A and B are shown apart, each in its own frame.
Chain A
């Protein structure tokens, strides 16, 4: 049980192939050092050494040397074992450990005097500046590994490119994740199985995206709103009550003279049971009825009438549709409603004006192909050049387009195949290409780790689009990138993208992983235990799929609201509202919420809900099937809200289970944890995790509020490692949102950066994270500032050549 998930960040290792990059780095290091030393020539002492002696060493001596200096080397770790300060500064691995532990509030340990905030800041910035050589004004952007689209991104990219729904869950294996997200290039590997799937998918999708039956007689859709009612301006043909006379008229534009097939599709609604009501529907033009149809109760079936008419080209072909009432519905019966679904004119039927169906004209933009192969090549070049630019997310080079044209022509020239088969074949090739499946960002000198460049505008368009839409850039982004104006209009584009409904994908994906809302519907929770009911079926009926999906939606809508309304990030913890439907409201014991749809609900001041820590999603994903896990909950808050990864349990620490043996086995969880924490080795971790988890014990594994457990009252009082006391979950949330709000901002910034950029947050990102946190703090803590901050940061805007700055000091 103790073995729960713990974050553990490390300096990246080097692959064997990378070692030579060290030389390059060393050169860069020497160059930088030389520049820094110039002003100090002639002085006997390095200024940094002086600063160290005056400002840093006293802090370290006072807080660390009890265990890690003056002859002590607890955990094999001594800080004063060096011949010279210079040698000390160069032992980066040791400093990395110090930096990591101080930054995460892991050191000094619980039973020693903590560093003050200003001492902490001094030590950290000294290490960052002098040892890591981080230039805070110009931080290392790091390097994002080329990565393939994950399942969600693939799904949405196909949807946005071709308006084709492709079931990725059914067709692709699950993606591996890293740092808690499925956007990490390093772990999104491509196995041979993936390639098989991608090739199959390309075939399936192209078959839907590119029709091969050539130009067809055109179907012209007449929209309901083109018809106006004579009786009531506001009425539309989707809702025609059958108890009165109705006339709708429209002057329709017709493109070509000729005979057309007219079809009218409608349903009759209003009553689930049969009624006596009747009526007559007439449809025609020029004052003549073409079809007349007696109508009555018909069980909401889809009904269709067809007729033919000779129409003349022009703006004013006067169509009409009338409804005449017949019998009334009968005693106590509902009145019926006619609802027109569609009116379609198909023609001219002589086939003189064939074209591709509307949905495919963006591909076959110039209509049917010319007869000769050479002329066709010109058309192919137009079609495939445009498609390649869209599919590859950047302009396709002439050589590539040539190859595509050749591929398409080869197919066209085969017996039994046509022009469209060729285009489809080329689309398959593009969808199987690494330039579609993977997001490569090209830079000059890709292996020069000292070379930092702004990513090009197309790459920026892709980063933005996959971050906020989980999909390919739209036309506007591509256009701006083409004009090199995207960077200049960044803020407006971010706002546009967040306002677009596609941003819901970002919310689902980010909240789905940061708060694990993706899991809430599938995780095992024993409904019987949660409800105290013996019968499994009965328990499952109560804790049903609707309650669970409601919880997921609650988390998503809640985050989306704070994002769209640009509310403070801290409101994610302390909001006095949430999103509910009747099922979920009943589950939470909140009255007067009726109906299936989720809506914003204001909560009373004494509500047990409001904020992430009051949501069923959080309670479920941090529980075991039959009981809560205070340790998991504590860790979840540390990792996701306080940016404090708990240190992994030391190998020689006796697990909690040892404590629980024999005479201790009837202890409550709180008592057991307390006993376990008496062991000093355990105390360091548990003093951080347990109080947080125990404060949330009122929420059972299914998110229900309970006042006692096993007949005992639940004690929720506790104290954070940083000293703040709280009485219960509400107060804990409040502390996280006020006294610890900078940590909360930092946690969210780190998660968002990881998700957006596709790599883990590293030591050299410290200034970037600090900048984002400062910025959010200075702007009333608003969530959008955090997103602006991430997007405008060096890691998002830039990249450097391959090779790792600290590769040599891999621990």
Chain B
């Protein structure tokens, strides 16, 4: 049955993998082809920093809100104090920007009743209200990462990267009448099609660098590209024939198929342009670690490698779906995350929740550590040339609050972003506004996104 494939002795194996990754640091980085690819057709730079480096964007989702007592920041501007569960960020104080009072109004019940976890998850990167359905007519909105991918995806081998640690799904119904699609996908390429995330580190690796040994990868890539085209032509013709016979809704589904084929064709075409994927100097990880932390970190390693080799410039990572009831025995919390997130103000529950929050903060710190230890071509760190959003679609999980969300922006955007500060926006402000600011940085001009009402101030230096 659907038991997870486990990597035996996982920590050791991951360390082994990471030792290999260390070798990857020294490999030459994309200098030769960067300038001509970093610019859009009209010559305008897209997702490029001041120094001409790729600007990388990542969105990481932490489930089930936080214990607000141990999260809420005291003080604003440069003069603020980390709360308890933010301690792991201390080392990166000058690299991050803490934001208070961002909200997702479309996450609230409205007329839709229960289902706050599904909505928290669904709204996070879309700012849109998910249509309440258990299956038929799912409808949400394009997520911010996919807007970025649409505009800059042609510049890299992969338009975007979607990751998750939820490889095994719960069966049965999901949250209060919402289809599970809302709860297990962060990224949506259109209002009806989610971008399915990948949960296996090995498969992510193979997407980035090809399958098999180093030699096989090089060989396989060539052959695949050559032979694939005739297959793609055949199936596209098949799809066109079929399309003529279908009704409206079926055509929407078939269009997903055709989009997928076109995406592969684009990739083949890009592969010709970019040549072989860069050799990361390591072999693919063997399987999915049984320890959650190892799994998270391996996926983060993949994101770092993808950014480092400029395989993509935008990634999303669903650490766990909102409402996740995972237990954290490794940090002494045997209870399910969701069940104790309804802490009832009970100090014991709040304590356990804070422990989990701390665990998640440490994972972000790990990611930032990795990014800051990798040098980009301009001599600054990858973290310097990145724009990371980390947070949750709920603040107080007990009340299912969708305002004052716990949000961290990390990275300097190549030096453009204001960091080292805590900004209290003063009043509830759509998270979608923040996304408009981010799109600005990438060079994408949008007047509106999701439920945006404008832009936030004090985002840049």
Contact call B263/A759, Cβ cutoff below 8 A? no
Contact call A625/B339, Cβ cutoff below 8 A? yes
In the docked arrangement, what's the CA distance between A523 and B2, Å?
12
* B1 beta carbon closer than 8 Å to chain A: yes
Within 8 A of B (CB), among A487-526: 508, 512-514, 516, 518-519, 521-524, 526
B193-201, B300-308, B353-361: which lies at the A interface? B193-201
Residue of A nearest to B161 (CB): A193
Contact call A15/B239, Cβ cutoff below 8 A? no
In the docked arrangement, what's the CA distance between A512 and B134, Å?
18
Q: Which residues of A contact B249 (CB under 8 A)?
A: 15, 18, 143, 145-146, 802
Contact call B113/A8, Cβ cutoff below 8 A? yes
Contact call A186/B138, Cβ cutoff below 8 A? yes
* B180 beta carbon closer than 8 Å to chain A: yes
Within 8 A of B (CB), among A187-201: 187, 189-196, 199-200
Contact call B344/A661, Cβ cutoff below 8 A? yes
A114-122, A439-447, A588-596: which lies at the B interface? A439-447
Contact call A187/B248, Cβ cutoff below 8 A? no
* B273 beta carbon closer than 8 Å to chain A: no
Within 8 A of B (CB), among A407-453: 407, 410-411, 425, 428-429, 432-435, 437-438, 440, 442-443, 446-447
A173 to chain B, nearest CB (A): 5
Which of B195, B253, B342 is packed against the most chain A CB atoms within 10 Å?
B253
In the docked arrangement, what's the CA distance between A660 and B245, Å?
59
Contact call A403/B234, Cβ cutoff below 8 A? yes
* A41 beta carbon closer than 8 Å to chain B: no
* A178 beta carbon closer than 8 Å to chain B: yes
Q: A440-B242, A516-B171 are contacts. A12–B252 as well, Cβ < 8 Å?
A: no
Q: Which residues of A contact B228 (CB under 8 A)?
A: 199
Interface of A is mostly: loop
Q: Which residues of A contact B135 (CB under 8 A)?
A: 178-179, 184, 186-187, 759-760
Within 8 A of B (CB), among A55-91: none
Contact call A178/B166, Cβ cutoff below 8 A? no
* B91 beta carbon closer than 8 Å to chain A: no
* A528 beta carbon closer than 8 Å to chain B: yes
* A264 beta carbon closer than 8 Å to chain B: no
Contact call A524/B327, Cβ cutoff below 8 A? yes
Residue of B nearest to A178 (CB): B135
Contact call B173/A7, Cβ cutoff below 8 A? yes
* A274 beta carbon closer than 8 Å to chain B: no
Within 8 A of B (CB), among A605-655: 621, 624-627, 629, 639, 645, 648-651, 655
Q: Which residues of B contact A310 (CB under 8 A)?
A: none
Residue of B nearest to A758 (CB): B135
Which of B248, B254, B326, B329 is packed against the most chain A CB atoms within 10 Å?
B248
* A2 beta carbon closer than 8 Å to chain B: yes
* B346 beta carbon closer than 8 Å to chain A: yes
Identify which of B113, B115, B139, B175 contacts A13 (C-beta below 8 A): B139
* B37 beta carbon closer than 8 Å to chain A: no
Contact bitstring A658-687, B, C-beta under 8 A = 1, else 0: 001100010000000000000000000000
Contact call B346/A665, Cβ cutoff below 8 A? yes
Interface of B is mostly: loop
* B23 beta carbon closer than 8 Å to chain A: no
B442 to chain A, nearest CB (A): 21
Identify which of A447, A627, A648 contacts B114 (C-beta below 8 A): A648
Which of B115, B198, B344 is packed against the most chain A CB atoms within 10 Å?
B344
Q: Which residues of B contact A7 (CB under 8 A)?
A: 134, 173, 177
* B334 beta carbon closer than 8 Å to chain A: yes
Contact bitstring B181-216, A, C-beta under 8 A = 1, else 0: 100110001001111111110010001000100000
Residue of B nearest to A174 (CB): B169
Contact call B231/A648, Cβ cutoff below 8 A? no
Q: Which residues of B contact A196 (CB under 8 A)?
A: 207, 260, 264
Contact bitstring B208-246, A, C-beta under 8 A = 1, else 0: 000100000000000010011011001101110110011
* A6 beta carbon closer than 8 Å to chain B: yes
Contact call A169/B177, Cβ cutoff below 8 A? no
In the docked arrangement, what's the CA distance between A314 and B1, Å?
48
Q: A189-B256, A191-B189 are contacts. A3–B200 as well, Cβ < 8 Å?
A: no
Q: Which residues of B contact A146 (CB under 8 A)?
A: 246, 249-250, 253-254
Contact call B247/A446, Cβ cutoff below 8 A? yes
Q: A8-B113, A10-B132 are contacts. A522–B176 as well, Cβ < 8 Å?
A: no
Contact call A425/B231, Cβ cutoff below 8 A? yes
Chain B residues within 8 Å of chain A by Cβ, number: 98
Contact call B196/A193, Cβ cutoff below 8 A? yes
B82 to chain A, nearest CB (A): 28
Q: Which residues of A contact B343 (CB under 8 A)?
A: 657
Which of B110, B139, B342 is packed against the most chain A CB atoms within 10 Å?
B342
Contact call B342/A3, Cβ cutoff below 8 A? yes
Q: Which residues of B contact A745 (CB under 8 A)?
A: none
Contact bitstring B318-334, A, C-beta under 8 A = 1, else 0: 00000101110100001
Q: Which residues of A contact B325 (CB under 8 A)?
A: 524, 624-625
B149 to chain A, nearest CB (A): 10
* A170 beta carbon closer than 8 Å to chain B: yes
Contact call B139/A648, Cβ cutoff below 8 A? no
Within 8 A of B (CB), among A373-409: 400, 403-404, 407
Q: A179-B134, A193-B195, A429-B235 are contacts. A661–B113 as well, Cβ < 8 Å?
A: no
Residue of B nearest to A197 (CB): B203
* A734 beta carbon closer than 8 Å to chain B: no
Identify which of A171, A199, A508, A657 contacts B264 (C-beta below 8 A): A199
Q: Which residues of A contact B114 (CB under 8 A)?
A: 3, 6, 8, 648-649
Which of B113, B172, B189 is packed against the most chain A CB atoms within 10 Å?
B172
B334 to chain A, nearest CB (A): 4
Identify which of A15, A433, A446 contacts B235 (C-beta below 8 A): A433
In the docked arrangement, what's the CA distance between A534 and B81, Å?
39
In the docked arrangement, what's the CA distance between A643 and B198, Å?
35
In the docked arrangement, what's the CA distance between A426 and B438, Å?
46
Contact call A518/B1, Cβ cutoff below 8 A? yes
Contact bitstring A1-25, B, C-beta under 8 A = 1, else 0: 1110111111011110110010000
Within 8 A of A (CB), among B423-451: none
Which of A17, A407, A435, A648 is packed against the most chain B CB atoms within 10 Å?
A648
Residue of A nearest to B243 (CB): A434
Contact call A760/B136, Cβ cutoff below 8 A? yes
Q: Which residues of B contact A524 (CB under 8 A)?
A: 325-327, 336
Contact call A176/B185, Cβ cutoff below 8 A? yes
* A538 beta carbon closer than 8 Å to chain B: no
Contact call B175/A428, Cβ cutoff below 8 A? no
B392 to chain A, nearest CB (A): 15
Contact call B246/A440, Cβ cutoff below 8 A? yes
Contact call A174/B199, Cβ cutoff below 8 A? yes
Identify which of B250, B256, B329, B399 contacts A190 (C-beta below 8 A): B256
* A108 beta carbon closer than 8 Å to chain B: no
Q: Supply 13 further A-B pairs (C-beta < 8 A) apart from A6-B177, A199-B231.
A: A13-B133, A143-B249, A145-B253, A148-B253, A174-B167, A185-B253, A187-B135, A189-B194, A192-B195, A425-B227, A446-B245, A661-B345, A760-B136
CB<8 Å pairs between A and B, sample of 7? A145-B250, A178-B181, A434-B238, A442-B246, A524-B326, A629-B339, A661-B344
Chain A residues with CB under 8 Å of chain B are 1-3, 5-10, 12-15, 17-18, 21, 143, 145-148, 169-171, 173-180, 182, 184-187, 189-196, 199-200, 202-203, 400, 403-404, 407, 410-411, 425, 428-429, 432-435, 437-438, 440, 442-443, 446-447, 508, 512-514, 516, 518-519, 521-524, 526, 528-529, 536, 549, 552, 621, 624-627, 629, 639, 645, 648-651, 655, 657, 660-661, 665, 759-760, 801-803
Chain B residues with CB under 8 Å of chain A are 1-5, 109-110, 113-117, 131-139, 159, 162, 166-177, 179-181, 184-185, 189, 192-200, 203, 207, 211, 224, 227-228, 230-231, 234-235, 237-239, 241-242, 245-250, 252-254, 256-257, 259-261, 263-264, 323, 325-327, 329, 334-336, 339, 342-346, 398-400
Those 6 A-B pairs whose CB atoms lie nearest each other, nearest first: A178-B135, A8-B177, A195-B260, A446-B247, A802-B247, A648-B113
